[in-house]
Chains A and B, each alone.
Chain A
Amino acid sequence: MIELGITAVLLVLGYVFGSINEKEHFQKIRIREHRLKAFPTHAGTKTFILNGEVKIVCGSVVVASDYFKSFIGNLKSLFGGRLTSYESLMDRARREAIIRMKESAVSWGAQEVIDVQINTSFIDKLGVEVSAVGTAIKRQPV
Protein backbone atom coordinates (compact mmCIF):
# COMPACT_ATOMS: atom_id res chain seq x y z
CA MET A 1 0.00 0.00 0.00
CA ILE A 2 2.89 2.36 0.80
CA GLU A 3 4.25 1.92 -2.71
CA LEU A 4 0.91 2.91 -4.21
CA GLY A 5 0.78 5.97 -1.97
CA ILE A 6 4.25 7.03 -3.04
CA THR A 7 3.33 6.55 -6.69
CA ALA A 8 0.22 8.68 -6.25
CA VAL A 9 2.15 11.46 -4.52
CA LEU A 10 4.84 11.42 -7.23
CA LEU A 11 2.16 11.52 -9.91
CA VAL A 12 0.52 14.56 -8.36
CA LEU A 13 3.87 16.30 -7.88
CA GLY A 14 4.91 15.44 -11.42
CA TYR A 15 1.65 16.69 -12.86
CA VAL A 16 1.55 19.95 -10.89
CA PHE A 17 5.17 20.96 -11.41
CA GLY A 18 5.34 19.50 -14.90
CA SER A 19 2.36 21.45 -16.17
CA ILE A 20 3.40 24.68 -14.45
CA ASN A 21 6.82 24.37 -16.06
CA GLU A 22 5.43 23.51 -19.43
CA LYS A 23 2.96 26.37 -19.41
CA GLU A 24 5.62 28.90 -18.48
CA HIS A 25 8.03 27.49 -21.02
CA PHE A 26 5.50 27.64 -23.85
CA GLN A 27 4.71 31.25 -22.96
CA LYS A 28 8.38 32.22 -23.08
CA ILE A 29 8.83 30.32 -26.33
CA ARG A 30 5.94 32.20 -27.96
CA ILE A 31 7.27 35.59 -26.93
CA ARG A 32 10.80 34.86 -28.15
CA GLU A 33 9.58 33.22 -31.36
CA HIS A 34 7.58 36.33 -32.06
CA ARG A 35 10.63 38.53 -31.46
CA LEU A 36 12.75 36.45 -33.86
CA LYS A 37 9.95 35.98 -36.37
CA ALA A 38 11.54 38.06 -39.08
CA PHE A 39 14.95 36.40 -38.87
CA PRO A 40 15.38 34.21 -41.96
CA THR A 41 16.18 30.57 -41.26
CA HIS A 42 16.42 27.82 -43.83
CA ALA A 43 16.62 24.10 -43.46
CA GLY A 44 18.18 23.53 -46.86
CA THR A 45 21.36 24.75 -48.50
CA LYS A 46 20.46 27.90 -50.27
CA THR A 47 22.67 28.84 -53.16
CA PHE A 48 24.19 32.13 -52.28
CA ILE A 49 26.96 34.33 -53.44
CA LEU A 50 29.08 34.77 -50.43
CA ASN A 51 30.26 38.22 -49.79
CA GLY A 52 30.89 38.12 -46.08
CA GLU A 53 31.43 35.69 -43.19
CA VAL A 54 29.90 32.35 -42.19
CA LYS A 55 29.87 30.62 -38.85
CA ILE A 56 28.28 27.55 -37.33
CA VAL A 57 25.64 28.49 -34.78
CA CYS A 58 24.16 26.02 -32.37
CA GLY A 59 21.25 26.04 -29.99
CA SER A 60 20.95 23.16 -27.63
CA VAL A 61 18.50 22.41 -24.88
CA VAL A 62 18.07 19.61 -22.38
CA VAL A 63 14.57 19.09 -21.01
CA ALA A 64 13.77 16.69 -18.21
CA SER A 65 10.69 14.55 -18.25
CA ASP A 66 8.54 14.50 -15.14
CA TYR A 67 7.15 11.52 -13.24
CA PHE A 68 3.68 12.08 -14.62
CA LYS A 69 4.87 12.03 -18.23
CA SER A 70 7.05 8.97 -17.66
CA PHE A 71 4.21 7.17 -15.91
CA ILE A 72 1.86 7.78 -18.83
CA GLY A 73 4.67 6.76 -21.16
CA ASN A 74 5.15 3.46 -19.32
CA LEU A 75 1.45 2.67 -19.44
CA LYS A 76 1.37 3.61 -23.12
CA SER A 77 3.98 0.97 -23.78
CA LEU A 78 1.28 -1.58 -22.94
CA PHE A 79 -1.31 -0.20 -25.32
CA GLY A 80 0.61 1.68 -27.99
CA GLY A 81 -0.63 4.89 -29.55
CA ARG A 82 0.60 8.48 -29.62
CA LEU A 83 2.85 9.42 -26.74
CA THR A 84 1.14 12.76 -26.41
CA SER A 85 2.71 13.54 -23.06
CA TYR A 86 6.16 13.38 -24.68
CA GLU A 87 5.04 15.21 -27.81
CA SER A 88 4.66 18.46 -25.93
CA LEU A 89 8.05 17.86 -24.32
CA MET A 90 9.69 17.37 -27.70
CA ASP A 91 7.82 20.32 -29.18
CA ARG A 92 9.12 22.59 -26.44
CA ALA A 93 12.65 21.30 -26.77
CA ARG A 94 12.75 21.66 -30.55
CA ARG A 95 11.33 25.17 -30.55
CA GLU A 96 13.60 26.25 -27.72
CA ALA A 97 16.64 24.87 -29.56
CA ILE A 98 15.77 26.81 -32.73
CA ILE A 99 15.23 30.00 -30.72
CA ARG A 100 18.59 29.59 -29.00
CA MET A 101 20.29 29.00 -32.32
CA LYS A 102 18.68 32.11 -33.76
CA GLU A 103 19.60 34.14 -30.69
CA SER A 104 23.17 33.02 -31.02
CA ALA A 105 23.16 34.04 -34.70
CA VAL A 106 21.62 37.41 -33.92
CA SER A 107 24.10 38.14 -31.18
CA TRP A 108 26.92 37.41 -33.60
CA GLY A 109 25.38 39.84 -36.07
CA ALA A 110 24.19 37.43 -38.73
CA GLN A 111 21.42 38.27 -41.14
CA GLU A 112 20.27 34.69 -41.70
CA VAL A 113 20.93 31.04 -40.91
CA ILE A 114 20.96 28.36 -43.56
CA ASP A 115 21.22 24.58 -43.59
CA VAL A 116 19.56 24.12 -40.22
CA GLN A 117 19.58 20.59 -38.84
CA ILE A 118 17.87 19.35 -35.75
CA ASN A 119 19.19 16.47 -33.72
CA THR A 120 17.77 14.61 -30.77
CA SER A 121 19.49 12.50 -28.19
CA PHE A 122 18.37 10.95 -24.96
CA ILE A 123 20.15 11.46 -21.72
CA ASP A 124 19.67 8.20 -19.87
CA LYS A 125 16.07 8.04 -18.73
CA LEU A 126 16.14 11.56 -17.43
CA GLY A 127 15.27 13.69 -20.38
CA VAL A 128 15.98 14.68 -23.91
CA GLU A 129 18.50 16.90 -25.63
CA VAL A 130 17.54 18.68 -28.81
CA SER A 131 20.11 20.68 -30.72
CA ALA A 132 19.67 22.89 -33.73
CA VAL A 133 22.79 23.56 -35.81
CA GLY A 134 23.02 25.86 -38.78
CA THR A 135 25.31 28.08 -40.79
CA ALA A 136 24.99 31.73 -39.89
CA ILE A 137 25.75 34.27 -42.60
CA LYS A 138 26.99 37.79 -41.99
CA ARG A 139 26.90 39.75 -45.21
CA GLN A 140 29.28 42.62 -45.79
CA PRO A 141 27.53 45.82 -46.54
CA VAL A 142 27.83 46.35 -50.31
Chain B
Amino acid sequence: MTEFIPSTEKEGINSTDENPIFELAWLVLGTVVILAFLYASLGFVGEKFIVNLTPEKEIEYFSKIPVSKQFNVESNARFDEINELFKHLEDSSLKNLKLLALKDKELNAFAYPGGMILVTEGLLEKVKSKMGLAFVVGHEIGHFQNRDHLRGMGKALGFTMISSLLGFAGSDFVLSSITQEMVANAYNRTQEDEADEFAMKLLKLTYGTSQGAEEFFRVILSEQGQFSKYIPGILSTHPHPKERLEKILKFKR
Protein backbone atom coordinates (compact mmCIF):
# COMPACT_ATOMS: atom_id res chain seq x y z
CA MET B 1 0.00 0.00 0.00
CA THR B 2 1.38 3.36 -0.99
CA GLU B 3 1.27 6.20 1.41
CA PHE B 4 0.60 9.91 0.87
CA ILE B 5 3.41 12.04 2.25
CA PRO B 6 2.49 15.70 2.68
CA SER B 7 5.05 17.98 1.08
CA THR B 8 5.22 21.35 -0.58
CA GLU B 9 6.65 22.09 -4.00
CA LYS B 10 10.37 22.74 -4.12
CA GLU B 11 11.11 26.14 -5.62
CA GLY B 12 13.38 26.83 -8.55
CA ILE B 13 12.84 23.59 -10.47
CA ASN B 14 10.11 24.57 -12.85
CA SER B 15 10.92 28.24 -12.84
CA THR B 16 14.11 30.19 -12.45
CA ASP B 17 15.07 32.86 -9.95
CA GLU B 18 17.44 34.51 -12.45
CA ASN B 19 16.71 38.15 -13.11
CA PRO B 20 15.07 38.41 -16.53
CA ILE B 21 16.69 41.82 -17.07
CA PHE B 22 20.04 40.14 -17.79
CA GLU B 23 18.35 37.78 -20.17
CA LEU B 24 16.74 40.72 -21.96
CA ALA B 25 20.08 42.52 -22.15
CA TRP B 26 21.71 39.52 -23.81
CA LEU B 27 18.83 39.04 -26.21
CA VAL B 28 18.77 42.70 -27.21
CA LEU B 29 22.53 42.70 -27.69
CA GLY B 30 22.33 39.60 -29.87
CA THR B 31 19.50 41.05 -31.89
CA VAL B 32 21.33 44.33 -32.40
CA VAL B 33 24.42 42.47 -33.61
CA ILE B 34 22.34 40.42 -36.06
CA LEU B 35 20.48 43.50 -37.31
CA ALA B 36 23.69 45.47 -37.68
CA PHE B 37 25.13 42.65 -39.75
CA LEU B 38 21.96 42.49 -41.86
CA TYR B 39 21.98 46.26 -42.28
CA ALA B 40 25.58 46.27 -43.45
CA SER B 41 25.18 43.39 -45.88
CA LEU B 42 21.82 44.55 -47.22
CA GLY B 43 23.25 48.04 -47.56
CA PHE B 44 26.16 46.67 -49.55
CA VAL B 45 24.03 44.52 -51.84
CA GLY B 46 21.35 47.21 -52.10
CA GLU B 47 23.91 49.78 -53.11
CA LYS B 48 25.16 47.59 -55.96
CA PHE B 49 21.61 46.87 -57.03
CA ILE B 50 20.34 50.41 -56.87
CA VAL B 51 23.22 52.13 -58.61
CA ASN B 52 22.85 49.72 -61.52
CA LEU B 53 19.12 50.33 -61.91
CA THR B 54 18.11 51.40 -65.40
CA PRO B 55 16.39 54.80 -65.49
CA GLU B 56 13.10 53.11 -66.45
CA LYS B 57 13.26 50.76 -63.46
CA GLU B 58 14.25 53.64 -61.24
CA ILE B 59 11.13 55.56 -62.18
CA GLU B 60 9.01 52.45 -61.75
CA TYR B 61 10.28 51.78 -58.22
CA PHE B 62 10.44 55.30 -56.90
CA SER B 63 7.09 56.39 -58.24
CA LYS B 64 5.71 54.32 -55.37
CA ILE B 65 6.99 56.98 -52.99
CA PRO B 66 5.23 60.00 -54.44
CA VAL B 67 7.24 63.17 -54.09
CA SER B 68 4.19 65.29 -53.42
CA LYS B 69 3.47 63.25 -50.28
CA GLN B 70 6.80 64.12 -48.74
CA PHE B 71 7.41 67.60 -50.05
CA ASN B 72 5.36 70.61 -50.90
CA VAL B 73 5.99 70.90 -54.63
CA GLU B 74 4.33 72.53 -57.64
CA SER B 75 5.15 73.39 -61.23
CA ASN B 76 6.73 76.71 -62.04
CA ALA B 77 6.60 78.80 -65.23
CA ARG B 78 10.30 79.62 -65.02
CA PHE B 79 11.22 76.10 -66.04
CA ASP B 80 9.83 76.83 -69.51
CA GLU B 81 12.81 79.15 -70.09
CA ILE B 82 15.22 76.27 -70.06
CA ASN B 83 13.33 73.67 -72.10
CA GLU B 84 16.10 73.76 -74.67
CA LEU B 85 18.51 72.30 -72.14
CA PHE B 86 16.97 68.86 -72.57
CA LYS B 87 17.18 68.82 -76.36
CA HIS B 88 20.89 68.18 -76.61
CA LEU B 89 21.22 65.44 -74.03
CA GLU B 90 22.84 62.28 -75.35
CA ASP B 91 21.13 59.96 -72.92
CA SER B 92 17.47 59.85 -73.98
CA SER B 93 16.30 58.79 -70.50
CA LEU B 94 17.47 62.15 -69.16
CA LYS B 95 15.02 63.91 -71.47
CA ASN B 96 12.13 62.71 -69.34
CA LEU B 97 13.35 64.36 -66.15
CA LYS B 98 10.64 66.38 -64.46
CA LEU B 99 11.21 69.81 -62.99
CA LEU B 100 9.36 70.87 -59.87
CA ALA B 101 9.54 73.85 -57.55
CA LEU B 102 9.93 73.06 -53.87
CA LYS B 103 8.24 75.46 -51.47
CA ASP B 104 11.28 76.41 -49.47
CA LYS B 105 13.12 79.66 -48.89
CA GLU B 106 16.53 78.05 -48.77
CA LEU B 107 18.68 78.21 -51.90
CA ASN B 108 19.07 74.66 -53.08
CA ALA B 109 18.22 72.07 -55.71
CA PHE B 110 17.97 68.29 -55.52
CA ALA B 111 18.21 65.32 -57.82
CA TYR B 112 15.33 63.21 -56.52
CA PRO B 113 15.24 59.48 -57.33
CA GLY B 114 12.47 58.68 -59.76
CA GLY B 115 13.55 61.27 -62.34
CA MET B 116 12.68 64.52 -60.62
CA ILE B 117 14.66 67.68 -60.14
CA LEU B 118 13.47 69.84 -57.28
CA VAL B 119 14.47 73.50 -57.25
CA THR B 120 13.56 75.59 -54.23
CA GLU B 121 11.40 78.66 -54.70
CA GLY B 122 14.07 80.64 -52.88
CA LEU B 123 16.50 79.80 -55.63
CA LEU B 124 14.00 80.51 -58.42
CA GLU B 125 13.49 83.90 -56.88
CA LYS B 126 17.12 84.87 -56.39
CA VAL B 127 18.66 83.37 -59.52
CA LYS B 128 17.03 85.59 -62.10
CA SER B 129 18.75 84.84 -65.40
CA LYS B 130 18.00 81.97 -67.72
CA MET B 131 21.67 80.94 -67.81
CA GLY B 132 21.93 80.97 -64.03
CA LEU B 133 18.96 78.66 -63.70
CA ALA B 134 20.13 76.51 -66.60
CA PHE B 135 23.41 75.93 -64.79
CA VAL B 136 21.68 74.83 -61.59
CA VAL B 137 19.39 72.44 -63.46
CA GLY B 138 22.30 71.27 -65.60
CA HIS B 139 24.22 70.46 -62.43
CA GLU B 140 21.36 68.27 -61.20
CA ILE B 141 21.07 66.57 -64.62
CA GLY B 142 24.78 65.84 -64.18
CA HIS B 143 23.99 64.01 -60.93
CA PHE B 144 21.39 61.94 -62.79
CA GLN B 145 23.82 61.23 -65.62
CA ASN B 146 26.42 59.99 -63.13
CA ARG B 147 23.80 58.12 -61.02
CA ASP B 148 25.02 60.10 -57.99
CA HIS B 149 21.50 60.53 -56.70
CA LEU B 150 21.19 56.77 -56.16
CA ARG B 151 24.48 56.28 -54.34
CA GLY B 152 24.06 55.95 -50.62
CA MET B 153 20.50 54.74 -51.15
CA GLY B 154 21.54 51.17 -50.45
CA LYS B 155 21.70 52.11 -46.79
CA ALA B 156 18.15 53.41 -46.97
CA LEU B 157 17.14 50.12 -48.58
CA GLY B 158 18.74 48.12 -45.77
CA PHE B 159 17.02 50.35 -43.27
CA THR B 160 13.63 49.77 -44.90
CA MET B 161 14.03 46.03 -44.89
CA ILE B 162 15.06 45.90 -41.25
CA SER B 163 12.22 48.21 -40.29
CA SER B 164 9.79 45.90 -42.01
CA LEU B 165 11.31 42.97 -40.12
CA LEU B 166 10.67 44.81 -36.87
CA GLY B 167 7.15 45.65 -37.96
CA PHE B 168 7.66 49.37 -38.51
CA ALA B 169 7.21 49.12 -42.27
CA GLY B 170 5.13 51.75 -44.00
CA SER B 171 5.10 53.96 -40.96
CA ASP B 172 5.77 57.65 -41.44
CA PHE B 173 8.96 57.16 -39.48
CA VAL B 174 10.41 54.87 -42.14
CA LEU B 175 9.16 56.91 -45.10
CA SER B 176 10.54 60.14 -43.76
CA SER B 177 13.87 58.49 -42.96
CA ILE B 178 14.19 57.31 -46.53
CA THR B 179 13.39 60.67 -48.03
CA GLN B 180 15.63 62.42 -45.55
CA GLU B 181 18.39 60.11 -46.63
CA MET B 182 17.68 60.99 -50.25
CA VAL B 183 17.86 64.69 -49.66
CA ALA B 184 20.59 64.85 -47.06
CA ASN B 185 22.60 62.41 -49.13
CA ALA B 186 25.69 64.52 -49.56
CA TYR B 187 27.76 63.89 -52.65
CA ASN B 188 31.47 64.04 -52.40
CA ARG B 189 33.67 66.74 -53.84
CA THR B 190 34.48 64.83 -57.02
CA GLN B 191 30.82 64.15 -57.73
CA GLU B 192 30.00 67.83 -57.29
CA ASP B 193 32.86 68.92 -59.52
CA GLU B 194 31.82 66.44 -62.17
CA ALA B 195 28.23 67.68 -62.02
CA ASP B 196 29.47 71.28 -62.38
CA GLU B 197 31.57 70.26 -65.33
CA PHE B 198 28.65 68.43 -66.92
CA ALA B 199 26.49 71.53 -66.52
CA MET B 200 29.11 73.75 -68.16
CA LYS B 201 29.46 71.40 -71.12
CA LEU B 202 25.69 71.15 -71.48
CA LEU B 203 25.32 74.94 -71.45
CA LYS B 204 27.97 75.30 -74.08
CA LEU B 205 26.34 72.62 -76.20
CA THR B 206 22.85 74.09 -75.86
CA TYR B 207 23.42 77.80 -75.97
CA GLY B 208 26.84 77.96 -77.57
CA THR B 209 28.13 79.75 -74.51
CA SER B 210 28.36 79.28 -70.76
CA GLN B 211 28.26 83.01 -70.11
CA GLY B 212 26.22 83.78 -66.98
CA ALA B 213 26.41 80.28 -65.55
CA GLU B 214 28.04 81.56 -62.40
CA GLU B 215 25.07 83.62 -61.23
CA PHE B 216 24.07 81.03 -58.66
CA PHE B 217 27.47 81.17 -56.97
CA ARG B 218 27.48 84.94 -56.98
CA VAL B 219 24.06 84.92 -55.31
CA ILE B 220 25.25 82.47 -52.65
CA LEU B 221 28.41 84.44 -51.99
CA SER B 222 26.50 87.69 -51.59
CA GLU B 223 23.93 86.00 -49.35
CA GLN B 224 26.73 84.57 -47.28
CA GLY B 225 28.04 88.05 -46.64
CA GLN B 226 24.71 88.89 -45.02
CA PHE B 227 24.73 85.78 -42.86
CA SER B 228 21.61 84.65 -44.64
CA LYS B 229 19.60 81.86 -43.14
CA TYR B 230 18.77 80.57 -46.60
CA ILE B 231 22.04 78.89 -47.46
CA PRO B 232 23.35 76.62 -44.67
CA GLY B 233 21.99 73.51 -46.42
CA ILE B 234 23.97 73.95 -49.56
CA LEU B 235 27.12 74.92 -47.68
CA SER B 236 27.03 71.77 -45.59
CA THR B 237 26.60 69.40 -48.54
CA HIS B 238 28.63 71.05 -51.29
CA PRO B 239 32.18 72.33 -51.73
CA HIS B 240 32.59 76.00 -50.99
CA PRO B 241 30.89 78.17 -53.68
CA LYS B 242 34.03 80.26 -54.10
CA GLU B 243 36.02 77.19 -55.11
CA ARG B 244 33.28 76.05 -57.44
CA LEU B 245 33.07 79.51 -58.96
CA GLU B 246 36.82 79.58 -59.58
CA LYS B 247 36.69 76.15 -61.12
CA ILE B 248 33.93 76.94 -63.57
CA LEU B 249 35.53 80.24 -64.49
CA LYS B 250 38.70 78.31 -65.25
CA PHE B 251 36.66 75.82 -67.24
CA LYS B 252 35.18 78.62 -69.32
CA ARG B 253 38.61 79.70 -70.39
Residues of A within 8 A of B (CB): 1-3, 11, 15, 30, 33-34, 37-40, 42, 46, 68-69, 71-72, 75-76, 78-79, 84-85, 87-88, 90-92, 94-95, 112
Contacts and interface: CB of A to CB of B under 8 A. Distances in A.
Q: Which of A11, A76, A91, A92 has the most CB atoms of chain B within a 10 A radius of its CB? A: A91
- Which of A3, A15, A33, A38 has the largest count of B CB atoms less than 10 A from its CB? A3
Interface of B: 2, 4, 6-9, 14-16, 18, 20-21, 23-24, 27-28, 30-31, 34, 168, 171, 173
B28 A75 contact: yes
Nearest to A46: B2
Given A2-B173, A34-B8, A76 B21 contact: no
A91 B9 CA distance: 11
A84 B16 contact: yes
A95 B28 contact: no
B24 A71 contact: yes
Contacts of B9: 33, 95
Contacts of A42: 4
Contact of B6 (A11, A15, A38): A38
Contacts of B4: 40, 42, 112
Given A33-B8, A87-B16, A91-B15, 6 more contacts: A15-B20, A37-B7, A68-B24, A75-B27, A84-B20, A90-B14
A31 to B, nearest CB: 10
A3 B28 contact: no
Contacts of A33: 8-9
A39 B7 CA distance: 10
Contact of B15 (A15, A38, A71, A84): A84
A37 B5 CA distance: 9
A37 B6 contact: yes
Contacts of A78: 30-31, 34
13 contacts: A3-B171, A68-B24, A72-B20, A75-B28, A75-B30, A75-B31, A76-B27, A78-B30, A78-B34, A87-B15, A88-B16, A90-B14, A91-B15
Q: Which of B15, B23, B27 has the most CB of A within 10 A?
A: B15
Nearest to A33: B8
Contacts of B18: 84
Contacts of A11: 24
Contact of B23 (A1, A3, A85, A95): A85
Contacts of A38: 6
A87 B23 contact: no
B32 to A, nearest CB: 11
Contacts of B24: 11, 68, 71-72, 75
Contacts of A94: 14
A134 B27 CA distance: 40
A106 to B, nearest CB: 14
Contacts of A71: 24
- Which 10 A-B pairs give the minimum distances between C-beta atoms? A88-B15, A40-B4, A91-B15, A75-B27, A38-B6, A91-B14, A37-B6, A87-B15, A84-B16, A33-B8
B226 to A, nearest CB: 35
Contacts of B27: 72, 75-76, 79
A34 B8 CA distance: 6
Contacts of B14: 87, 90-91, 94
B20 A37 contact: no
Contacts of A92: 15
Contacts of B7: 37
Given A33-B8, A33-B9, A79-B30, A85 B20 contact: yes
